[in-house]
Amino acid sequence: MTRYARPLTVTFLSASTLAYEILLVRVFAIEQFHHFAYMAIGIAMLGFGASGTLVALARPQQESAARWFAWAAVLTPVALVASATLVHQVPLDATQLPWDVGQWPRLALVYLLLALPFAVAALAVLLALTLEPERTGWIYGASFLGAGLGAALAVAVLWIVFPVRALAVPALVASLGGMSAVPVAATRKTPLKGCAWGTLLLGAAVFVEPLWRLDITPYKGLPQVEAFPDARRVAERASPLGWVVAVDASAFRHAPGLSLTYTGAFPRQTALFVDAEIAGAVSDWSAEAAARAILDWLPSALPYALGERREVLVIGAGGGLEVWNALAHGAHRVKALELNPELVRLGGWSDSTVVGSPQAVEVEWAIGDARGHVAGSRERFDLITMGGGRAYGTSAAGVHALNEDFLHTQEAYVSYVERLSDEGVLAITRWLTVPPRENVRVILTAVEALRRHAPDAVAHGLVVARSWATGTVLMKPSGFSSQDVERLAAWAEARRFDLDWYPGIDVPATRFNIMDEPVLYRAAAAAVAGSDSAERFAAAYAFDVTVADDARPYPHHFLRVGSLRSFLAGSRGSWLPFAEWGYIALLATLVQSVVLAGLLMLVPAALRARGAGSAGWLRLVGYFTAIGLAYLAAEVAAIQQLNLLLGHPVYAVAAVLTAFLICSGAGSAWSDRQPATRGWIVGAVLVGMLMLCAAQLLALIHLLQPTPLPLRVAVAVAVLAPLAFLMGTPFPLGLRFLASMDTGAVAWAWAANGFSSVVATPLAALIALEAGSQVLFLAAAAAYACAALLHGGFSRLGSPGV
């Protein structure tokens, strides 16, 4: 029984911390903004490495280590509860961080509180490794297994309970870890056992009655609309896709980019929020039938000016505004694709009793990933339309910059265009920012897609229209006739919208919505002139507006690294209009994690002096740093690409992450049977596999996209399993060399690996953003190559006293 106690404890603790990490990201993304969640939790993960530094400095003897192990395991659930409770007591206003130094100590306190459970749990895992040096593969494999199960658990829990309660689940799981540690405790077992039972009760009590509550920043849409005079929350749903809330308020109105010449009525609307940010509205047309006229005064109604669109596909249909638009314009059949089933349900499309009036119309809803659906479909449509969707604020503030979005890549646009009927049109409406960037990228991407689909169509297949707040791009592979252009121009003129581009235009023709520079005209002219001129235009533009593709699926990222110098050179606040918070948070996370990791590694090492700075210490740290960097880089790249293959951003990520970690766990356990000297061979094989992934994986995914899901899953497993299996071996193989050394060497290795994993997370995201997942695979290969080289020298070193 005791043989399995430590691996079991490690499994529970790893599951609890990974689940806590994922759930914390969810809760923070609701309370604050996703980019802040990313930064805060990214830094908190330094707790993993800090446990290594602590053990390296303390170098506990066997008996002490066994005692510490048990207590760390028992205290992990307490730390999880304390962290979640106390962090909600810190009065931090993240929006004031740029100019209020008073917020920085609070941020530091948040980091510390968040880091606490990771540090305590990691301490237990590390001590387990030092206590059983002959079974490092088993112990480390258990950690991988637990992490994999924790990822799956977090996603499953989010289906069952609301995020605020879900945050208590990791403590419950960790308490099981504490209980399983009791049999191997080298201390008086009675108090320990009592404490372990106490933590189980604590976990259960907190699950029933959480000690914290959602504290949503007042700058989000939900608290603001809920503060309106007669606002009433009418429905609430939770799932891993987000926390969806519907609010009725007479002062709420949603009409993105409505024409200034509209003088009619507004429908009564129910606001829909995902993670407290506006995600659309449900309109009650029955109360005032005349209000339906408003639909024809929205910029997204432009394609209907071309004449009847019988078959319409709405991508990202949300609450159904664009579905109603299609129906109001006489569509005979509307197919609506939406990823989040709760939005459809609250929109009244599948459960008419929830919100608003019953939607008694024939609309075919498909719940799931639009990209995968389109790839597997043979249907043809007269119109495929994609609306703005998100709230203006979040769109413009760049908080989605880090989000992968395979719906707005060149390959995606090609797949939509292929599903158009002979006279079909693809319409994409986005918010307009000043200076324009998202609209510019949509134009460049659309024209490149059109060029790939039908090169001859480019000259006559593009129309760009602009309202005071939005830009709409129309693509028609069969080409816009002069009658088409006349109809669009008349429709636009009545609404005071401008046509920035149409076939035959020779000079900018802005009449109603004046901009300093005719940027959209120039972008369209450059794109239509050819790929080279489009590239030159993008290269000269102040923002990154290059065509997004499946290897670099970040269509909402615009900030160039070079622009940051201008920010820093300007006075405080002058960069606000250009701030892309997601990207800035990523860079801030990277800088902070590098600095803090360096301090937590190097300062203690320097203080300790013995061995630190020596060639042996550097090799050891170098090897474990390299494999930490490589693992994260390969994992991020693989998840990104397999996400496209499996076609669902949440389930795919959860499934891939779980499978990845469990396979790595199996690899780690298997490594116990291998000679430690084989580490360099593993490294070399991994280099080859990762280079192959960089070269061929995306092409394979494109080939398989239209195939049935079981086949895609089988291929994903076939690609993933051997890679993840081997990636689980370098760490335990490396540790085995240290078996003959003291606890300090193992602890430094753990610290180096922990810190590098933390640094690697924002670094990998940055590489993916700037260079794409293929380069990320190559970066991982390079890091494994370094590890293989260091492993050779490291193995020859092999003397105690490092």
Partner 1 sequence: MKLRRAGILLLALHLGSAGCVAAQEREQSASDPNEPQRLAMVRLIRDYGVRDPATLAAMRSVLRHEFVPEGYRRRAYGDHPLPIGYGQTISQPYIVAYMTETLDPEPGMNVLEVGTGSGYQAAVLAEIGCQVYTVEIFEVLATSARQRLERLGYTNVTVRHADGHYGWSEAAPFDVIIVTAAAGYIPPALVEQLKPGGRMVIPVGSVYGVQNLILVEKDASGDVRTHNLLPVRFVPMLKGLR
Q: Which of 198, 223, 722, 792 is the binder for partner 1 (CB under 8 A)?
A: 223
Q: Which of 198, 368, 376, 393 is the binder for partner 1 (CB under 8 A)?
A: 393
Considering the complex, state which of residue 497 and residue 777 has its C-beta at the smaller distance from partner 1.
497
Q: Does 579 bind partner 1 (CB under 8 A)?
A: yes
Considering the complex, state which of residue 109 and residue 542 has its C-beta at the smaller distance from partner 1.
542
Is 767:776 a contact under the CB 8 Å cutoff? yes
Considering the complex, state which of residue 19 and residue 432 has its C-beta at the smaller distance from partner 1.
432
Q: Does 220 bind partner 1 (CB under 8 A)?
A: yes
Dihedral Cα 286, 288, 289, 290, nearest 10 deg: -170
Q: Does 422 bind partner 1 (CB under 8 A)?
A: no
H-run or E-run covering 785: helix 773-797
Helix 709-727 vs helix 649-671: angle between axes, to the nearest 10 degrees?
40
Q: Which of 541, 554, 725, 748 is the binder for partner 1 (CB under 8 A)?
A: 541
Is 381:311 a contact under the CB 8 Å cutoff? yes
We find the least distance from the C-beta atom of residue 412 to partner 1, in angstroms, to be 25
Q: Does 269 bind partner 1 (CB under 8 A)?
A: no
We find the least distance from the C-beta atom of residue 393 to partner 1, in angstroms, to be 3
Question: Could you give the 3-state DSSP secondary structure of residue 132?
Answer: coil
Q: Does 516 bind partner 1 (CB under 8 A)?
A: yes
Q: How many residues does the chain have?
A: 802
Q: Does 584 bind partner 1 (CB under 8 A)?
A: no
How far is it, in rounded angstroms, from Cα 347 to Cα 341?
A: 10
Question: Could you give the 3-state DSSP secondary structure of residue 189?
Answer: helix
How far is it, in rounded angstroms, from Cα 12 to Cα 142?
A: 9
Lookup: tokens for 736: 């085995």
Q: Does 193 bind partner 1 (CB under 8 A)?
A: no
Is 555:409 a contact under the CB 8 Å cutoff? yes
Q: Does 293 bind partner 1 (CB under 8 A)?
A: no
Q: Does 469 bind partner 1 (CB under 8 A)?
A: yes
H-run or E-run covering 732: helix 730-737
We find the least distance from the C-beta atom of residue 107 to partner 1, in angstroms, to be 16
We find the least distance from the C-beta atom of residue 400 to partner 1, in angstroms, to be 11
Q: Which of 432, 689, 768, 785 is the binder for partner 1 (CB under 8 A)?
A: 432
* Residue range at the interface with partner 1 (CB under 8 A); choices 20-28, 98-106, 655-663, 675-683: 98-106
> Site for partner 1 (CB under 8 A): how many residues?
69
Q: Which of 150, 398, 647, 683 is the binder for partner 1 (CB under 8 A)?
A: 398
Q: Does 482 bind partner 1 (CB under 8 A)?
A: no
Q: Does 292 bind partner 1 (CB under 8 A)?
A: no
* Residue range at the interface with partner 1 (CB under 8 A); choices 78-86, 212-220, 237-245, 754-762: 212-220
Exposed, middle or buried, 487 (CB in 10 Å: 0-12/13-18/19+)?
middle
Return the residues of window 517-536 that contact partner 1 according to CB under 8 A: 517, 519
* Residue range at the interface with partner 1 (CB under 8 A); choices 259-267, 322-330, 642-650, 738-746: 259-267
Considering the complex, state which of residue 171 and residue 258 has its C-beta at the smaller distance from partner 1.
258
Is 35:43 a contact under the CB 8 Å cutoff? no
Peptide bond into 800 cis (omega under 30): no
Q: Does 568 bind partner 1 (CB under 8 A)?
A: no
Lookup: tokens for 234: 């009418």
Q: Does 367 bind partner 1 (CB under 8 A)?
A: no
Identify residue 435 by its one-letter amino acid code.
P
Q: Which of 22, 41, 301, 396 is the binder for partner 1 (CB under 8 A)?
A: 396
Q: Does 709 bind partner 1 (CB under 8 A)?
A: no
We find the least distance from the C-beta atom of residue 535 to partner 1, in angstroms, to be 14
CA 593, 599, 600: angle at the middle one, nearest 5? 85
Considering the complex, state which of residue 418 and residue 493 has its C-beta at the smaller distance from partner 1.
493
Considering the complex, state which of residue 212 and residue 468 has its C-beta at the smaller distance from partner 1.
468
How far is it, in rounded angstroms, from Cα 591 to Cα 781?
A: 23
Q: Does 571 bind partner 1 (CB under 8 A)?
A: yes
Q: Which of 105, 194, 307, 577 is the binder for partner 1 (CB under 8 A)?
A: 577
Considering the complex, state which of residue 33 and residue 631 has its C-beta at the smaller distance from partner 1.
33
We find the least distance from the C-beta atom of residue 512 to partner 1, in angstroms, to be 5
Q: Which of 2, 190, 263, 799 is the binder for partner 1 (CB under 8 A)?
A: 263
Is 626:620 a contact under the CB 8 Å cutoff? no
Q: Does 508 bind partner 1 (CB under 8 A)?
A: no
Exposed, middle or buried, 602 (CB in 10 Å: 0-12/13-18/19+)?
middle
Is 329:301 a contact under the CB 8 Å cutoff? yes
Beta pairing class for 242-248 and 268-274: antiparallel
CA 720, 722, 725: angle at the middle one, nearest 5? 100
Q: Does 785 bind partner 1 (CB under 8 A)?
A: no
Cβ neighbours of residue 688 under 8 Å, at least 6 residues apart?
Answer: none
Is 392:402 a contact under the CB 8 Å cutoff? no
* Residue range at the interface with partner 1 (CB under 8 A); choices 2-10, 200-208, 427-435, 602-610: 427-435
Q: Which of 61, 62, 89, 96 is the binder for partner 1 (CB under 8 A)?
A: 96
How far is it, in rounded angstroms, from Cα 500 to Cα 638?
A: 40
* Closest of 682, 667, 795 to residue 140, by C-alpha: 667
We find the least distance from the C-beta atom of residue 260 to partner 1, in angstroms, to be 5
Question: Could you give the 3-state DSSP secondary structure of residue 612?
Answer: coil
| Residue with tokens 């809760």, as numbered in its chain | 27
Q: Does 546 bind partner 1 (CB under 8 A)?
A: no
Edge-first strand listing for the sheet containing 498-501: 363-367, 333-338, 311-315, 381-386, 420-431, 470-475, 462-466, 498-501
Using CB under 8 A, list all residues that contact partner 1.
93, 95-96, 98-100, 217-220, 223-224, 227-229, 250-251, 253-258, 260-264, 266, 391-394, 396-399, 431-435, 468-469, 496, 511-517, 519, 540-542, 563, 566, 570-579, 581
